[in-house]
């Protein structure tokens, strides 16, 4: 969309939209592909990248260095997702539009993580992480586009919920991978990367990825930029929903990025003990999240309301963040994780349905979902740098400020739901 709301010209009917119901095999392999891609990328974010940086620079400089490395990777993530998504849309090879970028992306991610595990300095880590993020987002863009390509509208909500569950479940898998492989830093990078490739293969084999029969026309640079823009003035409900998702995702990743270091410094745990506690905590968090998400989604459909659930979930999540400030022990940490799982579970169970209800332009749903995805990619990218600044204020280990800020951000994200008019 342009700022005046005019639509960018689209090539008509090069690939037909889905009509029949997607098979359980296709949906199942799609979910496995998402789990594999997520666990390959989330394991470094959860533990191994932090440990790698700490092994080179030491504990005193790990926060600042990790924040800088993460920010460099953030640039790659922010650029790669829309760029490779558009390239995928316009790919005309005989293997289809999505399959080549899925395969190249996940293989490139595996190679980059292997290099990251072996490099002996911070510059090498930063370069390898930049490449890893670029490759992962190339694959992720193609995978999400496959949902729009292959899943009809009547089935898309349930499949999108399953994809979201795989993304959250990968955090649990990443925590246990880190615990099991704590004795070998190389394996902590390589094993999840190989799992990503193996779990993607069945989807690549089953994916009915149609080849473009005509080459799309050339477009100017301004047209490319407008593809990833929706006017907040013309679509205010979507803009408020986008802003809310941005802030709640920022709140989540402010904590998640520095969770391992928080346990080391605030709870006084060794790296090995912190990784073990993290695995248990993420288990509790994920089980609570899964139960809350399913219950919230069902109840939201039953009562025909979305906004109260999203608002309540963000407030509960903020309370969980505030509880972490007072935790002081592993038991308190576990209790806070339950509250966080409850809040974020309700959120993921209802938020996608709310966004779909306010999503403009049925014919442009894939593009608009790409715009929505930026509300998750950007805060994930910014959170490490913002978190490093917050932690560094007043002495270098100010985790109370980090968690307090995360709680406040979640509350503001909840408030942004109130102005939405199209959804109750």
Q: What is this structure's pTM?
A: 0.69
Q: What are 310-352's pLDDT values in tens digits?
A: 788 888 888 888 888 777 788 888 898 899 888 888 877 777 6
CATH for 42: 1.20.1250.20
Q: Contact 186/102 with Cβ under 8 angstroms?
A: no
pLDDT in tens, the chain (424 residues): 333 444 444 444 455 656 678 788 988 999 899 999 989 888 887 678 888 888 888 777 777 788 788 778 878 887 787 777 777 777 777 788 888 999 999 999 999 999 998 998 989 999 999 999 999 988 988 887 787 777 776 666 567 667 777 877 787 788 778 778 877 888 888 998 999 999 999 999 988 877 766 666 666 556 556 656 666 777 787 788 888 889 888 888 888 778 878 888 878 888 788 888 888 888 888 888 878 877 777 777 677 777 788 788 888 888 888 888 777 788 888 898 899 888 888 877 777 667 666 666 544 444 566 677 778 778 877 887 888 888 888 776 788 888 888 888 888 888 888 787 766 6
- Phi, psi of 44, rounded to the nearest 5 degrees: -60, -40
Task: Answer yes or no: do 265 and 414 share one domain.
Answer: yes
DSSP3 helix / strand / coil % (the chain, rounded to 5): 75, 0, 25
Task: Answer yes or no: do 245 and 163 share one domain.
Answer: no
Task: Answer yes or no: do 289 and 368 share one domain.
Answer: yes
Q: Residue 30: enclosing H or E segment and its boundaries?
A: helix 24-43
Rounded to an integer, what distance in angstroms lies between the CA atom of residue 414 and that of residue 422? 17
Task: Answer yes or no: do 203 and 237 share one domain.
Answer: no
Domain-embedded: residue 285? yes
Q: Which of 210, 238, 260 is the last residue of a domain?
A: 210
Q: What are 122-155's pLDDT values in tens digits?
A: 899 999 999 999 999 889 888 877 877 777 766 6
Query: 166: which residues sit within 8 A by CB, 6+ positions away?
Result: 31, 32, 34, 35, 38
N-to-C CA span, the chain: 26
Query: What range does the domain containing 28 cover?
Result: 22-210
Rounded to an integer, what distance in angstroms lies between the CA atom of residue 31 and that of residue 393? 41
22: number of Cβ within 10 Å = 17
User: Total domain count for the chain?
Assistant: 2
Q: Which of 175, 210, 245 is the last residue of a domain?
A: 210
Task: Answer yes or no: do 96 and 186 share one domain.
Answer: yes
- Phi, psi of 133, rounded to the nearest 5 degrees: -65, -40
Task: Answer yes or no: do 200 and 144 share one domain.
Answer: yes
Q: Which of 159, 181, 210 is the last residue of a domain?
A: 210
Rounded to an integer, what distance in angstroms lies between the CA atom of residue 376 and that of residue 289? 18
């Amino acid at each position: 969309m342009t700022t005046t709301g005019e639509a960018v010209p689209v090539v008509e009917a090069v690939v037909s939209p889905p009509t029949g119901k997607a098979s359980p095999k296709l949906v199942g392999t799609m979910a496995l592909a998402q789990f594999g891609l997520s666990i390959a990328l989330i394991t470094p974010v959860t533990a191994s990248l932090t440990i790698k940086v700490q092994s080179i620079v030491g504990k005193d400089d790990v926060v600042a260095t990790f924040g800088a490395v993460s920010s460099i990777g953030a640039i790659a993530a922010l650029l790669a997702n829309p760029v490779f998504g558009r390239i995928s849309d316009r790919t005309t090879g005989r293997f289809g539009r999505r399959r080549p970028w899925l395969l190249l992306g996940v293989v490139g991610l595996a190679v980059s993580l292997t290099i990251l595990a072996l490099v002996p300095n911070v510059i090498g880590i930063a370069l390898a992480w930049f490449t890893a993020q670029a490759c992962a987002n190339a694959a992720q863009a193609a995978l999400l586009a496959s949902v729009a390509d292959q899943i009809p509208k009547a089935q898309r909500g349930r499949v999108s919920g399953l994809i979201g569950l795989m993304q959250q479940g990968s955090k649990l898998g990443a925590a246990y991978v880190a615990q099991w492989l704590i004795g070998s830093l190389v394996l902590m990078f390589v094993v999840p990367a190989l799992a990503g490739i193996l779990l993607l293969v069945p989807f690549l084999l089953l994916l009915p990825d149609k080849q473009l029969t005509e080459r799309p026309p050339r477009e100017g640079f301004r047209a490319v930029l407008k593809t990833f823009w929706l006017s907040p003035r013309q679509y205010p409900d979507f803009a408020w929903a986008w802003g809310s998702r941005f802030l709640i995702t920022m709140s989540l990743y402010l904590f998640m990025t520095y969770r391992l270091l928080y346990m080391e410094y605030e709870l006084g745990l060794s790296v090995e003990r912190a990784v073990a506690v993290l695995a248990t905590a993420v288990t509790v968090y994920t089980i609570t999240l899964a139960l809350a998400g399913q219950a919230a989604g069902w109840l939201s459909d039953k009562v025909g309301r979305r906004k109260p659930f999203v608002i309540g979930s963000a407030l509960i999540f903020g309370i969980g963040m505030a509880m972490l400030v007072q935790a002081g022990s592993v038991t308190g940490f576990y209790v806070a994780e339950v509250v966080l799982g409850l809040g974020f579970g309700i959120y993921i169970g209802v938020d996608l349905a709310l966004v779909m209800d306010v999503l403009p332009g049925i014919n442009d749903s894939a593009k608009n979902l790409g715009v929505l995805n930026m509300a998750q990619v950007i805060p994930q990218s910014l959170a490490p740098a913002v978190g490093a600044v917050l932690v560094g204020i007043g002495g270098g280990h100010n985790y109370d400020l980090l968690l307090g800020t995360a709680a406040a951000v979640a509350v503001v994200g909840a408030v942004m739901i109130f102005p939405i008019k199209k959804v109750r």
